[in-house]
Amino acid sequence: MPKKVGIEVSLAVSEAVCAADVDVIPAYPVTPQTHIVEHLSELVADGELDAEFMPVESEHSAMSACIGAAAVGARTFTATSAPGLALMHEIVFIAPSLRTPIVMVIANRALSGPISIWNDHSDIMAQRDCGWIQTFAENGQEVFDLIIHAFRVAEDPEVLLPMIVNMDGFTLSHVIEPIELLSASEVSQYLKPFEPQLVLDPKNPVTMGPVGVPELYTEARQQAESVLNGSKKVIVRAWKEFAKLYGRSYKPIETYRTEGAEVVLMTMGSVTETAMTAVDRMREKGIEVGLMRFRLWRPFPHEEFRRAVRGIKALAVVDRAISFGAQGGPVCSKVKSALYGAPYQPQVFGFISGLGGRDITVEMFKQMVKKAIRYAKKGEGPVYELIGVRER
């Protein structure tokens, strides 16, 4: 196995993209994603990566160019953050419909306002229903691995869907830590050249992306939904093969010290590691608490989730975004709806925290667990609550 090197996580993203030997990178820089595209343009300019780097004039153009590139059969990558992702919004929905297997890294950042460059999940939650496969990483190694995995899944002939790898802006993107970088030749054992099923080719003209008249639109959307749901088996299979080759394994839902747990924290992204430390400290004191995190956010792993919560009394779900007016966060809402009608239903308590770059500390996780234990005993708690709000 390769040795761990100290590297900024953003640069490791670029190295993963380089090892995946991409063909086209249309991108526009935006904080905190900037170092990724800067380094990619360097790698291309230095001849280390034989790819077309397209410095486009906006993210709307970036995603449009990505679709065009993938449609002619190019392995395609881009990266962005909140305002850039928002500007892409219109085109983001088109990519799955055209079955273009683009891989995009989102350095998650809060959507304004007030203007914030810092980390939360409001950007990706605003794209929740875009039809892309979406995974979450909690450290630099996972970001690297999930990017390689994303190309493999996206380009699988059974899938052919675009894929988003989420990594927390700043909290991951700007951190230097030890990461095992796989070389291009190591990655080539796992990731074969992209073989597109249908390409734009002047010699054999086809039309991609025509109008979906009412007679066709429903069927097209039904297909998009069914291929996304069906992608889960390919996603899981690709993780298993990844583990066989490189020794690191991933699952749609991953658990930590959930055995005998009364309360289980549910997280996504880099706060998971801090939450693990909180779990360790509480376990030392005899509090029966565990942790569960969604690695795969879309397609939502319904069956795995229902299986994972069996025997757990209460879930403390941590959201990094507000679903305005919905009384809670998007993850907690999804968790509740996934449990509706399930044979076993733990109590669910929603916590929103870590908005716009505010830390979620070990102490805050402890606070959430204590609250959830108290509410569970009482049999009721608030519909949701914000944790870590400064007293006025």
Partner 1 sequence: MIEIRVHGRGGQGAVTSTELIALAAINEGKYAQAFPSFGPERRGAPVMAFVRIGDTPIRTREKVYRPDIVVVLDPTILKIVDVTTGLKKDGMVILNTSKSEKEIRKEFGIKARMAPVNATEIAMRHLGRPITNTTMLGALIKATHVIDVESMEEPLKKRFGRIAEKNLNAMREAYQETG
Decide if residue 250 touches partner 1 (CB under 8 A): no
Burial of 226 from C-beta contacts in 10 A (0-12 / 13-18 / 19+): exposed
Binding track over 170-209 against partner 1, x by CB under 8 A: xxx-xxxxx-------------------------------
Q: Which of 276, 282, 321, 331 binds partner 1 (CB under 8 A)?
A: 276
Rounded to 5 degrees, φ, ψ at 67 are -65, -45
Instruction: Judge contact between 132 and 96, C-beta under 8 A.
Output: yes
Q: Which of 4, 240, 244, 374 binds partner 1 (CB under 8 A)?
A: 4
Structure tokens at 52: 């077309």
Decide if residue 274 touches partner 1 (CB under 8 A): yes
Of 142 and 155, the one with the shorter C-beta distance to partner 1 is 142
d(CA 112, CA 17): 29
Q: Among candidates 224, 293, 251, which has minimal Cα distance to 149?
A: 251
Of 61 and 361, the one with the shorter C-beta distance to partner 1 is 361
Q: Which of 313, 357, 387, 388 binds partner 1 (CB under 8 A)?
A: 357
In the complex, minimum distance from the CB of residue 273 to partner 1, in angstroms, rounded to a whole number: 4
Give the range of 195-203, 298-306, 312-320, 357-365 binding partner 1 by CB under 8 A: 357-365
Question: For residues 61-120, which are near partner 1 according to CB under 8 A?
Answer: 117-118
In the complex, minimum distance from the CB of residue 309 to partner 1, in angstroms, rounded to a whole number: 23
In the complex, minimum distance from the CB of residue 349 to partner 1, in angstroms, rounded to a whole number: 23
3-state secondary structure of 106: strand
DSSP class of 356? G
d(CA 387, CA 265): 14
67 contacts: CB under 8 Å, gap ≥ 6? 91, 94, 95, 98, 100, 102
Torsion, Cα of 187, 191, 192, 193 (10° steps)? -90
Of 74 and 291, the one with the shorter C-beta distance to partner 1 is 291
Decide if residue 359 touches partner 1 (CB under 8 A): yes
Residue reference for tokens 């992608």:
231
d(CA 368, CA 353): 10
Give the range of 167-175, 245-253, 307-315, 339-347 binding partner 1 by CB under 8 A: 167-175
d(CA 347, CA 217): 39
Q: Which of 1, 6, 259, 341 binds partner 1 (CB under 8 A)?
A: 6
**List of residues contacting partner 1 (CB under 8 A):** 4-6, 8, 32, 117-118, 168, 170-172, 174-178, 270-271, 273-274, 276-277, 357, 359, 361-362
